[in-house]
Every structure is written in structure tokens, then in C-alpha cells.
Amino acid sequence: MHNVSQALSALSGALVGGLLTVLGSWLAQRVQINGQWLAQEIQRRQLVYSDFIEAAARCYADALRQAEPIAPHITRLYGAMGRMRLQSNPLVIAEANHVGRRTGSIGNMLRLIPGSSPPASSPVR
């Protein structure tokens, strides 16, 4: 009987050791996959944010240079804002909307100031 209990103890010890090894490797792989996903998510957001900043800067420059906005630049800005809505939290989206409204209103504000809007034949476009 003593040999049977030793055999069962050895078998259960091996089983527990094997299960812990499998569990440990599974957890390590899960942590690694989550880390890779997080790095990809950060990179994806950085691309969206850089597109947004570039488009907003172009729209802002357009508003300072001329009275009429350039449609492709505005389209790119709103496209970047749409991509941000899919990936960002509400605070970031609210700030992006604020920048979009502000950028669009710069040209309107400059048209109200006498002499601030460049002539239609301005070479800077």
C-alpha cells in the first residue's frame, strides 16, 4: 500500500508540475501578445494623430492665406477626425472637434478684419 501511495504522490506531483508549466507558458504568451497589441495600437493612433495635425495645420495655413478654404485639405481634416472617433476617447474627440471648428472659423474671422484677407490673385496658394 505504501508503494501505491508513493506512486500516486509522484504522479500527482508530475501532473501539478506539468499543469503549472503549461499555465505559466500560456500566461507569458498572453502577456507578450497583449504587449504587441498595445504597441500596434499606439503606433496606429500616432499615425492618425499625425495625419490630423498635418491636416489641421494645412487648413489653418489656408485660412490665414486666403478667404476660401481648399476642399481637399478640409476633406483630409474631417477624414482624420473620423478615424480619431473610431480609436480615441471622448476627451480627445472633443478637442479634435474644437480644433476643426476653430480652424474653419479662422478664415471667417480674418475676412471680418479690413485688409487682412489676401487678394484673390495672391501668388501664395
What single-letter amino acid sits at 100? G
CA distance 4 to 19: 22
Question: Helices (DSSP H) in 66-89: which residue ranges?
Answer: 71-87
What pLDDT score was predicted for residue 30? 94
What pLDDT score was predicted for residue 67? 65
Digit-by-digit pLDDT tens for the chain (125 residues) are 678 888 888 888 888 888 899 999 999 999 999 999 999 999 999 999 999 999 988 888 887 787 676 788 888 888 888 898 888 889 998 888 888 777 766 555 545 444 444 444 444 44
pTM of the model: 0.62
